């Protein structure tokens, strides 16, 4: 039994109905969707480096199950779900691998899918990313939605949409799916053409280095032998300092071979176009970013990903009733981990006296381990409740004039 068959047997509490039909949308039948050659984009070094930078940082997001009460306080939820999201969502990958794969699918195909595994009691017991070459939307007689995935091996698998976490990118023109990255396809193809052109130029530059001319008629065998001897004597790495010695029988005329060079400005412009499309910069890709550059990258790329993952997982993991009681999945990027030491110190100095952060929260910001009784929040006595500030000042004035003194 293959992996897909095994997952299909384990995931489907009820087998898909045999009379599934193509799902209907407002614009008509939902067609079968295919990837836009995401693998080809992944093969381009510029595109891969940019997507890899996003995936590597998205892999650091920490998922957890939290319960939010009416006042907005967060308490820890199901430890099993949190353990799956923080450590290993399934037996064959870590949490980092899982989020890396989801993000790669999202940026290469415009959609990312994760299958939710549940045990016999309906409790979540695992998450599996689905990387397919196509998907078809189906419905049964009761109106339930199913997805038929097609894989590179030619196999297909049908799963209830209720058991599949679906994250979309560029969700603008299609009712069901995120749009393809066809808008950047031209730049990716141009970048690939530049790479191929550079390889061809280097290879062609070493093909013809000169013409060896003989003053007398030579047999084909003697020409080949003389050529090989000349190359061995003068056109190799150990060619006596690059000096060519000939006599009246032969004459060597070097050819000035200047292969066409790729315009650096053009190559940089193409790379910048790809970076801008993906929301990254060269410094983010090369890990040479400043704190401000990282902050912009976090807010524009990682934070939206965290929000999208949080909402998509929450909707599929919990029922409407469970969500009404405050159950949710949260993915956090730990932005303060990447701040400079001076920024961290200023944050602690500014927020701790206001009672916003506990001792252990301050230590976490500084990458220090928690201490016993460190969950207590401290507050400076130099601050007073705003509603009592006026009375406090009036009391001081009364004391100064003697009116506030007790008899």
pLDDT per position as a tens digit, 229-275? 766 765 665 555 555 556 666 676 665 666 556 677 888 888 899 99
pLDDT at position 404 is 47
Asked if 160 and 16 count as a contact pair (C-beta separation under 8 A), the reply is yes
Handedness of CA 369, 371, 373, 376 (dihedral sign): negative
CA distance 288 to 34: 36
pLDDT at position 22 is 76
* Window from 2-11, 113-122, 146-155, 384-393 with minimum mean pLDDT: 2-11
Residue 302 confidence (pLDDT) above 50 = yes
Could you tell me which of 101, 104, 160, 158 has the C-alpha nearest to residue 128? Answer: 101
Domains present along the chain, CATH in parentheses:
3-181+286-315 (no CATH), 208-254 (3.30.1120), 339-407 (no CATH)
For the chain, the maximum distance between any two Cα atoms, rounded to a whole number of angstroms, is 134
**For 131-282, where are the E strands, in sequence order?**
134-139, 145-150, 156-160, 164-168, 210-214, 250-254
Provide the pLDDT confidence category of residue 319 given band limits of 50, 70 and 90. Answer: very high
Residue 283 confidence (pLDDT) above 80 = yes
CA distance 255 to 208: 7
| Residues contacting 215, CB < 8 A, separation 6+ | 248, 249, 250, 251
The average pLDDT across 181-193 equals 78
Asked if 115 and 7 count as a contact pair (C-beta separation under 8 A), the reply is yes
18 secondary structure, DSSP code: S
Asked if 130 and 114 count as a contact pair (C-beta separation under 8 A), the reply is yes
Model's pTM, two decimal places?
Answer: 0.74
Other beta carbons within 10 Å of 404: 12
Provide the pLDDT confidence category of residue 289 given band limits of 50, 70 and 90. Answer: confident
CA distance 201 to 259: 5
CA distance 47 to 231: 42
Residues 356-391 pLDDT 10s: 888 888 887 777 778 887 777 777 766 666 566 566
Cα-trace Rg, the chain = 33
Could you tell me which of 36, 44, 34 has the C-alpha nearest to residue 274? Answer: 44
**For 82-161, where are the E strands, in sequence order?**
111-118, 124-130, 134-139, 145-150, 156-160
CA distance 85 to 317: 12
Could you tell me which of 286, 305, 306, 284 has the C-alpha nearest to residue 295? Answer: 284
């Amino acid at each position: 039994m293959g992996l897909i068959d095994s997952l299909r047997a384990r995931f489907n509490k009820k087998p898909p109905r045999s009379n599934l039909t193509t799902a209907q949308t407002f614009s008509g039948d939902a067609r079968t969707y295919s990837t836009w050659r995401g693998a080809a984009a992944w093969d381009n070094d510029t595109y891969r480096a940019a997507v890899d930078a996003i995936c590597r940082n998205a892999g650091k997001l920490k998922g957890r199950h939290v319960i939010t009460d009416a006042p907005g306080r967060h308490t820890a939820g199901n430890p099993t779900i949190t353990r799956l999201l923080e450590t290993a969502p399934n037996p064959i990958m870590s949490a980092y691998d899982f989020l890396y794969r989801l993000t790669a699918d999202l940026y290469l195909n415009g959609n990312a899918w994760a299958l939710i595994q549940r045990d016999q009691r309906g409790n979540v017991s695992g998450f599996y990313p689905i990387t397919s070459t196509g998907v078809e939307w189906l419905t049964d007689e009761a109106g339930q939605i199913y997805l038929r995935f097609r894989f590179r091996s030619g196999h297909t698998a049908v799963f209830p949409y209720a058991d599949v976490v679906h994250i979309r990118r560029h969700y603008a023109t299609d009712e069901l799916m995120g749009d393809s990255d066809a808008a950047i396809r031209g730049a990716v193809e141009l970048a690939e053409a530049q790479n191929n052109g550079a390889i061809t130029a280097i290879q062609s530059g070493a093909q013809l280095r000169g013409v060896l001319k003989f003053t007398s008629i030579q047999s084909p065998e003697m020409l080949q032998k003389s050529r090989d001897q000349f190359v061995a004597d003068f056109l190799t790495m150990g060619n006596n300092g690059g000096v060519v010695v000939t006599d009246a029988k032969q004459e060597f005329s070097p050819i000035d071979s200047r292969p066409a060079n790729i315009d650096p400005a053009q190559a940089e412009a193409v790379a910048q176009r790809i970076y801008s499309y993906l929301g990254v910069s060269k410094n983010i890709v090369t890990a040479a970013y400043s704190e401000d550059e990282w902050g912009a990258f976090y807010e524009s790329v990682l934070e939206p990903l965290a929000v999208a993952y949080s909402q998509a997982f929450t909707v599929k993991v919990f029922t409407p009733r469970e969500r009404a009681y405050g159950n949710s999945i949260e993915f956090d990027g730990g932005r303060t981990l990447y701040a400079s030491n001076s920024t961290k110190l200023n944050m602690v100095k500014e927020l701790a006296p206001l009672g916003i952060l506990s001792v252990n929260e301050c230590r976490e910001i500084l990458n220090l381990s928690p201490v016993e009784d460190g969950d207590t929040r401290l507050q400076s006595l130099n601050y007073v409740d705003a509603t009592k500030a006026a009375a406090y000042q009036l009391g001081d004035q009364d004391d100064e004039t003697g009116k506030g003194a007790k008899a």
